[in-house]
Chains A and B, each alone.
Chain A
Amino acid sequence: MSEFKMTTIEEMEAATNRLLETGAKVGADAWQFRVKNQTPHCKFGEQGVCCRICAMGPCRITPKAPRGICGCDAHGIVGRNFLKFTAAGAATHSDHGREICHTLYCTAEDGNYKVKDPDKLLRLAKEWGVETEGKDIYDLAHEMAEIGLMEYGKPFGYQKFLDRMPEGQKEKLIENEIAPRAIDREVSTSLHMAHMGCSSLPEALVKQSLRAGMADGWGGSMMGTEFSDVLFGTPKPIDTEANLGVMVAENVNIVVHGHDPSLSEMICEYADSPEMIAYAKEMGAKGITVSGVCCTSNEVAMRRGVPMAGNFLQQENVVLTGACEAIVVDVQCIFPALGPLSKCFHTKFVTTSPIAQMPDSEFIRFNAETAGENAKAIVKMAIENFKNRKPELVHIPDMKAKATVGYSVEAIVKTLDGVTNSQVDETGTTKPLLECITSGVIRGAVAMVGCNNPKIRPDYAHIELMKKLIANDIIVIASGCSAQAAAKAGLMDKSAKEICGAGLKRVCELADIPPVLHMGSCVDISRMMILAAELAKDSGLQINQLPVVGCAPEWMSEKAVSIGNYVVGTGIDTFLGVDPYVSGSSEMCELLTEGTRKWTGAAYTVETDIEKLTDLMIERIEEKRTALGI
């Protein structure tokens, strides 16, 4: 057995510093410098007490000026800002889900997009009560896509996926006005409520924040995930690698960045084609390497094993290697800085979505009908760009870690089937995991999600928290940039069982899994919600009773706030390492950290001391265990 060695934060930082030297040579800007220019941040903004929703303002709350011009107090202002923050996140995920529905609607037997997992489509159709008998799979796909699209704007009723919750939970959410109706309606209603002269009652604003979040988690995101699986295949365990060392100096390097797999899947498809590989060789390269950044990377890693070059705050590093022929992006979390940065190198910065257009980029409008030609044109452009590389600027840090990814709920259940005993157990359930938890072999589970944020040493919180959790026999499921941090460090290598507590180590050995399970991109946090619901149903408990918590230690985006709200809305306590701009209102703080409990059974814990954050999570998990008598 080879000794397990993690990649340390210090090593990653040294690699980044070396890349910044290249940047200095070519006069490149970087987030590290921009952060310095922006700090210290405005206190009013940080505390959430600055309001600019009408032209009477901007207003800000101080002890001398406790109310805005309209008379709104700090609690109302903070509450409205929080709601708008959430609504934007929900809109973002939901629009992503909508695009996927459209892509599903464009599938055809001989089209760019096909139905890769017809079984999953049939299961979903059955769940929604859609007749499948004797129906062509593509007719069914189009019908399901239309029904899915209706979820965004249907005039009556609640989100269909709420029926996946354990008995009684949906009713409780309806009773408390947290159950999401149409997805777009919740976003609109949020913006309506936050308009001047509408809601300023913190309780109402928090409730709507939860409902907008739930429209994302149990609506838009879930739709995005489920239909992405139908289109591109449901992830299964697959081996891959992570960190910048996955880029290959001799090859044409194409980096996909963004979120929607409709683009990245198509790019991967063409980059793999013999025709394009031959063309790359003609241009003097040895081949083509596609790697990813951010959530689109998670999507193609989960389904194709495409290596992950890095997470959010590493996006500029990809270009700084000098070996990136093209960075192809779609939507969300893309630094506009990539435009000017790419101009310092030979790198082509290719934007593809009308939703995310940026200066200094080459815009190739990508859509489902012409996806094949678009992708081919992009891959070709990258190949032809290989000759423009400046060899004196090329430096790829020799740093990568092995990772096993692809843990969809379906894959987790299949893995659990592997440890059942055919003489006593049923298969196809989460019961083996529940048994591990009930017996105490595993103490609980933490869902680690979220971004990077320069306010926290990048990746430090993700990695250190996970190390401590797994050492305490707490299994970690991860998604988004948190998952990539884990992968880069080596925590998704099966050998990482060596740094686990005895319980989790034994589980990893018997189930042949890494201690940190990659469940996908940020929309795939909906997978975690499904898993929690399944665990609750299989154990006969409510979700809020499970010894499970969520954590976003380095969160940054509005999407993260929407996620937090639906995780709390689902009944899972959520731990944040960065304050969500609410410290300016005691009432909002109280509501978010305690008040939501009466509606959902869960609340937020905000703790910026990362060491304390883990201890608080472990404490909460043990409290939940004690309450269950296990």
Chain B
Amino acid sequence: MLKETASQTAGPYVHIGLALELAGLPPRDEEIGPQLAGDAAKGEPIELVGRVIDGNGDTVRDALLEAWQADADGEYQCQFDLAAPFNSFGRSAATAHNDGEWRFTTIKPGAVALADGRRMAPHVNLAIFARGINIQLQTRLYFDDETDANAACPILNAIESPTRRQTLIATRETREGRTCYRFDIRLQGEGETVFFDF
């Protein structure tokens, strides 16, 4: 069996390749951006916002995030199509331009079924790429107003430490009349976010 090509950091200039406008480059006709859901998408419109914080407590201002989530019915829309009201995939970046705050415009995902019929609590898969990160960090964002579903989620419960499970729960707040969930990702140290291998 062949070995997988080895990973390397995305480096400090990842934006020129994957988030052109934030690098100061003109965007192409179609870009993969931070809007997963348009106005016509079914489901509750929400924003996901947060920071990436390093082991010193400082905000990382050169991270790229990729989001992957189900639609309101808990189904993945694998065919990426900017003409569709909802896409399961999106990209956002935390840079000096947005004061190190990444943001996705989306809808709240539905619960996703496991192969055995059990359901996972609503969640968004996030991958974090940045200078200093040699292979992307993979985490999940859960919602703090899904207490019962979270308590029953097989994946959250696979985390041995109940204290650490809390690092995956985003906090609901209202900002400028819009519902958003805040999710700070702590790469290292106190309150370190859980990262997955899968």
Tell whether A pairs with B.
no
- B interface residues with partner A (beta carbon < 8 Å): none
| A→B interface (CB under 8 Å) | none
